[in-house]
A and B are shown apart, each in its own frame.
Chain A
């Protein structure tokens, strides 16, 4: 058995909000996070922000990763952040991935999305970023 197994497992929800059906990226990230010792809850396709936030509360995740390739990120991502705030769950952080134009990234971050990972990001960078962010959340 691995010695690196953390005594506490970080939990992450990987969500596919909106109408696109391209879930390869979401699955690659889910697998990489699993291999790094995370418990990954995968929502499946076509979720609304309301559904994702409800799942996040029931599952008590540390963070929500949103994979969006439909171009609807500018509404869907801030919606999830807003709903989390409304539920008193602003401590659950949101990150995103997919086809996101560079010029949209600062706007999304201004609206509370912690980080955006665009195509070409290595999975180890994602894992490292999330591990640090989760550690910080629990410290």
Chain B
């Protein structure tokens, strides 16, 4: 094991050499949003694009971590190496987080073909952290075959995962009654695969009927992918092989439908470029807030000489001019 300290000059090579410590550290830098990271990630990008990205989402308590754990096991048996990003919420009050998804993924801790990273949302909405796309790039560059992303269980608003994943898996559980009705619309739009987990519970038949009806009512064209409904009992690994089959079937479908595949890829990069640009703008504005001219504008708004809208416009024009 090399003992040279990690620095910005050697970290990318060491990530490409699959050095666990280097990868862990680079992910930390990404999460902390340090300025030095962007040029590094830019170097890494040409080594990405091989991994298949699978998003797993669903309500809190739907069994995402348990299912992901079983899926890792199944994928390993099929000879695939697996990177996994497990996202948990940051406390809005303290900024801290308890990242407990690993508790259900212990059996993979010594397998060099598995890399699990716990990530906190750090205030980001949409089910994943702002850092998640870059962490995917890092795992991709380390040549993991499949990258599983387990989102925060926030309910119906985890659309960000769709833009990032090749295949989005949405977990449902029987017995939630009217909640199912409420979540239908959102679920259909983002799911490539629908899973009924805890399929041994009361209400399974009804849920299956509802999901199937919902799909039948969907506006699918002949060439469209129609989400299958897969039943699993993740705690006893039942149905996991079917789930893995369905995932690979969807990936194959993407490979044979280039138009759809390009759309997925375009949407992914389109979204990410926007995200990076927004971050940059936020940083510039944050920096501007400490400036003299900001204080000047602020005072003018306080005395109601100008409106906040005019102040913002003036400050923006300063920034744009300085950038020219």
A residues neighboring B (CB under 8 Å): 1-2, 4-9, 11, 30-31, 33-44, 46-48, 50-51, 54-55, 57-60, 86-89
Q: A88 touching B3 by the CB < 8 A rule? A: yes
Q: Is B273 an interface residue, CB under 8 A from the partner?
A: no
- Nearest-neighbour CB distance to chain B for A63, whole angstroms, equals 13
Q: B94 touching A55 by the CB < 8 A rule? A: no
Chain B facing A: main interface SS: mixed
Minimal Cβ-Cβ distance residue in B for A10: B96
Alpha-carbon distance between A31 and B97 when the two chains are bound, in angstroms: 9
Minimal Cβ-Cβ distance residue in A for B29: A60
When distances are taken between beta carbons in the complex, the residues of chain B under 8 Å from A51 are 106, 109-110
When distances are taken between beta carbons in the complex, the residues of chain A under 8 Å from B109 are 47, 50-51, 54-55
Minimal Cβ-Cβ distance residue in A for B19: A57
- Nearest-neighbour CB distance to chain B for A19, whole angstroms, equals 14
Q: A55 touching B102 by the CB < 8 A rule? A: yes
When distances are taken between beta carbons in the complex, the residues of chain B under 8 Å from A35 are 91, 93-94, 96
Which residue of the partner chain, among B32, B93, B110, B120, contacts A7 with CB atoms under 8 Å? B32
Alpha-carbon distance between A9 and B98 when the two chains are bound, in angstroms: 12
When distances are taken between beta carbons in the complex, the residues of chain A under 8 Å from B242 are none
Q: B94 touching A36 by the CB < 8 A rule? A: yes
Q: A37 touching B1 by the CB < 8 A rule? A: no
Minimal Cβ-Cβ distance residue in A for B26: A60
Instruction: List residues of B (117-152) whose CB comes within 8 Å of A's CBs.
Output: 117-118, 120, 122-123
Chain B contact residue count (CB 8 A cutoff): 36
Known contacts: A40-B98, A86-B1, A88-B1. The answer to whether A54 contacts B118 by CB under 8 A is no
Q: A42 touching B96 by the CB < 8 A rule? A: no
Q: A39 touching B20 by the CB < 8 A rule? A: no
- Nearest-neighbour CB distance to chain A for B24, whole angstroms, equals 4
Q: B110 touching A54 by the CB < 8 A rule? A: yes
- Nearest-neighbour CB distance to chain A for B110, whole angstroms, equals 6
Which residue of the partner chain, among B3, B24, B93, contacts A59 with CB atoms under 8 Å? B24
Instruction: List residues of B (158-211) whose CB comes within 8 Å of A's CBs.
Output: none
Taken residue by residue from 73 to 109, chain B's Cβ proximity to chain A (1 for < 8 Å, 0 otherwise) reads as: 0000000000000000011111111111011101001
Q: Is B116 an interface residue, CB under 8 A from the partner?
A: yes
Minimal Cβ-Cβ distance residue in A for B31: A9
Q: B99 touching A9 by the CB < 8 A rule? A: no
When distances are taken between beta carbons in the complex, the residues of chain A under 8 Å from B120 are 9, 39
Nearest 7 A/B pairs, CB to CB: A5-B95, A44-B103, A60-B24, A34-B96, A51-B109, A60-B28, A37-B95
Alpha-carbon distance between A54 and B109 when the two chains are bound, in angstroms: 7
Q: A88 touching B99 by the CB < 8 A rule? A: no
Q: Is B21 an interface residue, CB under 8 A from the partner?
A: yes
When distances are taken between beta carbons in the complex, the residues of chain A under 8 Å from B99 are 39-42
Known contacts: A8-B32, A34-B98. The answer to whether A58 contacts B115 by CB under 8 A is yes
Which residue of the partner chain, among B3, B27, B96, contacts A39 with CB atoms under 8 Å? B96
When distances are taken between beta carbons in the complex, the residues of chain A under 8 Å from B32 are 7-9
Q: Is B25 an interface residue, CB under 8 A from the partner?
A: yes
Alpha-carbon distance between A131 and B145 when the two chains are bound, in angstroms: 38
- Nearest-neighbour CB distance to chain A for B286, whole angstroms, equals 11
Alpha-carbon distance between A24 and B139 when the two chains are bound, in angstroms: 34
Alpha-carbon distance between A1 and B123 when the two chains are bound, in angstroms: 10
Q: A40 touching B102 by the CB < 8 A rule? A: no
Alpha-carbon distance between A55 and B27 when the two chains are bound, in angstroms: 14
Alpha-carbon distance between A2 and B109 when the two chains are bound, in angstroms: 35
Contacts A/B (CB < 8 Å), 22 sampled? A1-B123, A2-B92, A2-B94, A2-B95, A4-B95, A34-B96, A35-B93, A37-B95, A39-B118, A39-B120, A41-B99, A43-B103, A48-B110, A57-B24, A58-B115, A58-B116, A60-B21, A60-B24, A60-B25, A87-B21, A88-B1, A88-B21
Q: A5 touching B94 by the CB < 8 A rule? A: yes
* Most chain B Cβ neighbours within 10 Å, of A6, A8, A34, A86: A34
Alpha-carbon distance between A44 and B105 when the two chains are bound, in angstroms: 9
- Nearest-neighbour CB distance to chain A for B21, whole angstroms, equals 5
